[in-house]
Amino acid sequence: MTRNPNATMTTAVCVEPGVMTLDQRPIPSEAPEGWCLIDIAAIGICGTDYHIFEGKHPFLDYPRVMGHELSGRIVDGPDAGQLVVVNPYVSCGDCRACRRGKPNCCTRIAVLGVHRDGGMCGRIAVPRDNLYPAEGLTAEQAAMVEFLAIGAHAVARSGTGEGDVVLVTGAGPIGIGTALFARLAGAEVHMMDLSDGRLGLARDLFGFTRTHKPDDTVLTGALAEGFDVVFDATGNAKAIEAGFPLVAHGGSTVLVSVVKDDITFTDSEFHKRESRIIGSRNALKTDFERVMAAIRDGHIPTDAIASERVALADLPARFPDLVRARDHLVKVLVTP
C-alpha cells in the first residue's frame, strides 16, 4: 500500500477538564511488531469519557485522546478490510494475572483512551490479539460490544443463573448491560437508580419493569429475604454500602463500578449471611464473544441502545450538551 507521509487525520483531544479540541495529527503508517493498524469505524461514548471531560477520573493525565469502545477495519495484510471489535485493555502478558489467564486485571494494564490515547480519531495501532472478528455485526453494533462485555463479565463472575432474583443498582449503560445479561442468564432482574430518566429508559426501552428508587422500602413481600445478587454499577461508595443490607443470606455483592473511597460493612452481618463480595474488572475475550453471539442471535436490542449519533468533527461542540443529557441517553455513537 502506498502511504502519504504527510497525511493527517482529525483527532478529538480532551486538553484539560471541560476543554475538547480538534487536532490534525499524522496518520499512523506503521505498527509495532505484534500490533495492527485499524481504521476506526465507530466509537461509543462511555461514562468514563464523561468523567474524563469533567475532571473526575482518578487515573488520567491530560491531554488525552479518549475513546475505548471501538470498532474498526484492519488496514493491511490478508485480513485487510475486515471489521473487528477492539478489546481496549492492553495487558503486559508477563504478570501473574496474565500468566493465569486474567489479562483483564493485569498489574500493568493500559486502557486505550484512559492510560494511553484512544480511538477518537481516524486510525490507531492495537495489539493484534486484541482484535476480534465481528462477523454478522454492523460497525455500530461492534462498537457496543466492549461496554456490554463489562456487564457480561460481571454476570459470569457472579454465577447468576435460573431462578435468581437480582438487583442492579445504577441504570446507566453499564447497569443496563449487566441487567440484560442477568436476564439472559435466567434471573428475575430489578433495577435501582436515583434518576427517573434512567429508570424510564430501563423500563421503556428494555422492559425492566421492576424498578426502585433508593429511598423505596424494597425488602417487603416477595423480596423480604433480599436479593441473591446485588450488582453495583453506580460508582458511589454510599450506594455500595446501602446495597449490603439488601443481599439475601448466602448472596453476593458484585462491584462492577470502582470508587476511590473506602467502603465499610458490618462484619457480623457479613458473616451471618455468609456473603460474598466480588470485584469485576473489565472483560475477557470469552465475554466479548458471548456479547457478539447474543447480538447476532437477536437477544440484545442494539437499536434501543443507540440513542444518538454524532460526527467526530462535531464532537467538541456537542460534548458539553451530551454530558448534561446523559441521564436520558443510553449510548452515543461517534463516526470519524
> Residue 321 belongs to a domain with what CATH number?
3.90.180.10
Q: Is residue 96 part of a domain?
A: yes
What is the structure's pLDDT at 267? 93
Residue ending a domain, among 248, 279, 310, is 279
Same domain, 252 and 306: no
CATH code of the domain covering residue 213: 3.40.50.720
Q: Mark whether 164 and 102 lie in a shared domain.
A: no
User: 31 in a domain, yes or no?
Assistant: yes
Q: Is residue 61 part of a domain?
A: yes
How many Å apart are CA 321 and CA 95, to the nearest integer?
41
Residues 165 and 110 in one domain: no
- Mean pLDDT, range 193-204, rounded to an integer: 97
pLDDT of residue 150 exceeding 70, the answer is yes
Number of domains in the chain: 2
251 and 326 housed in the same domain = no
Taking 70 as the threshold, does the pLDDT of residue 148 lie above it?
yes
Q: Are residues 90 and 201 in the same domain?
A: no
Residue 57: band (very low, low, confident or very high) from pLDDT cuts 50, 70, 90: confident
Q: Could you list the residue range(s) of the whole structural domain that residue 245 is in?
A: 151-279
Listed range (5-9, 126-130, 309-313) with the worst mean pLDDT: 5-9
Three-state SS string over the chain comes to: CCCCCCCEEEEEEEEECCEEEEEEEECCCCCCCCEEEEEEEEEECCHHHHHHHHCCCCCCCCCECCCCEEEEEECCCCCCCCEEEECCEECCCCCHHHHCCCHHHCCCCEEECCCECCCCCCEEEEEHHHEEECCCCCHHHHHHHHHHHHHHHHHHHHCCCCCCEEEEECCCHHHHHHHHHHHHCCCEEEEECCCHHHHHHHHHHHCCCCEECCCCCCCCHHHCCCEEEEEECCCCHHHHHHHHHHEEEEEEEEECCCCCCCCCCCHHHHHHCCCEEEECCCCCHHHHHHHHHHHHCCCCCHHHHEEEEEEHHHHHHHHHHHHHCHHHCCEEEEEC
Sheet of 211-212: strand order equals: 211-212, 188-192, 165-169, 227-232, 247-255, 276-279
pLDDT (average), residues 9-33: 96
- 240, pLDDT greater than 70: yes
Q: Give yes or no: residues 307 and 275 share one domain.
A: no
Is the pLDDT reported for residue 248 higher than 60?
yes
Q: For residue 210, tell me if it sits in a domain.
A: yes
Q: Examine the domain organization and report whether 109 and 169 are in the same domain.
A: no
Tell me: do 205 and 161 sit in the same domain: yes
> What band does 58 get if pLDDT is binned at 50, 70 and 90?
confident
Residue at 122 is within a domain: yes
Q: Taking 70 as the threshold, does the pLDDT of residue 95 lie above it?
A: yes
Q: Is the pLDDT of residue 1 over 80?
A: no
- The verdict on residue 3 lying in a domain is no
- pLDDT at 89 exceeding the cut of 70: yes
pLDDT over 80 at 175, yes or no: yes
Q: Is residue 73 part of a domain?
A: yes
Torsion angle (degrees, nearest 10) of CA 139, 144, 145, 146 = 120
Same domain, 162 and 263: yes
268 lies in the same domain as 185: yes
The pTM for the full model equals 0.95
**Domain shared by 110 and 177, yes or no:** no
Instruction: Return the percentage of the chain with pLDDT > 70, whole number.
Output: 99
Residue 291: inside a domain, yes or no?
no
Question: Per-residue pLDDT for 46 more than 80?
Answer: yes
Same domain, 271 and 323: no
